[in-house]
Amino acid sequence: MRKLIVGNWKMNGSLLSNADLLRALRTGLPAEPAADVAVCVPFPYLAQVQGACAGGPIAWGAQDVSAHEAGAYTGEVSASMLRDFGCRYVIVGHSERRQYHGETDDVVARKAQRALAAGITPIVCVGETQAQRDQGDTEFIVKRQLAAVIHVVGHCVSEIVVAYEPVWAIGTGRTATPEQAQAVHAVLRAQLRAAVPNERRVRILYGGSMNAGNAAALLAQPDIDGGLIGGASLKADEFLRIIAAAD
């Protein structure tokens, strides 16, 4: 299975800085990278990224999608709108959405369902807080979050990407050790295996402060199929080094 490295720009960027970053990435990547590569960007920049990346090795996507198909939902962006911009991926259930916007497991599952219906691959984020880890609830939390998606999307779960992002390691500079990350990825892999016969099609990314220094050790683990990269994806040199580590 090819690794998948996805940059999550979060609420960062400008037309000028985006152009510089994408130019550096296109220049630095071989025509056929050893890993699949994508960037998930703020909604206003989808047209820019579509224009800059079309026909190249970098896929693109969004950072959220509405759980509704259409209607009077001011400020929401539907999956069909994302499809109009050629989005290959969309992040759903990121811990920041769960924490700051009150997204429940059910909402995340319905967003994944909307994405799949539009032909877009949802990157479904799961992960525990430090308090939950300290209480020994890591396995319970991540399995509950993934179970909600499996229940709603059914056999289509084989078409999703899962990202394990320990909340205590996001933007903190702290990172799960390769062994800690692998242990949770193995739990998620077993859960997927019980749900669908072709679970090896589902890539499970690690999403907690992966950087150029630790990427190789994390990506060497048997159930870590790539990375969901935050801050490091805004630095072309570092992002390229992470991609190279997936070779």
Q: Please indicate, yes or no, whether the overall pTM of this predicted structure exceeds 0.95.
A: yes
Residue ranges of domains in the chain: 4-66+85-245
Active-site residue, 151 included: no
pLDDT digits 0-9 by tens, 164-209? 999 988 777 777 899 999 999 999 999 999 998 877 789 999 998 8
Question: What is the number of alpha carbons within 13 Å of residue 38 lying toward its C-beta?
Answer: 28
pLDDT of residue 119: 98
pLDDT digits 0-9 by tens, 26-79? 999 998 898 999 999 999 999 999 999 999 999 999 999 999 999 999 999 999
Find all residues with CB under 8 Å of 67, minimum gap 6, and list them: 107, 110, 111, 114
Q: Thinking of the domain 4-66+85-245, which architecture would CATH place it in?
A: Alpha-Beta Barrel (3.20)
User: By three-state DSSP, how is residue 230 classified?
Assistant: coil
| Strand duo 121-126 + 161-164: pairing | parallel
Spot the catalytic one: 94, 103, 128, 185.
94
pLDDT of residue 196: 87
- Asked if residue 222 lies in contact with residue 200, where contact means CB atoms within 8 angstroms, the answer is no
Active-site residue, 155 included: no
Spot the catalytic one: 96, 103, 128, 165.
165
For 155, the enclosing helix (H) or strand (E) is: none
User: By three-state DSSP, how is residue 120 classified?
Assistant: coil
How long a stretch of residues is the chain?
Answer: 247
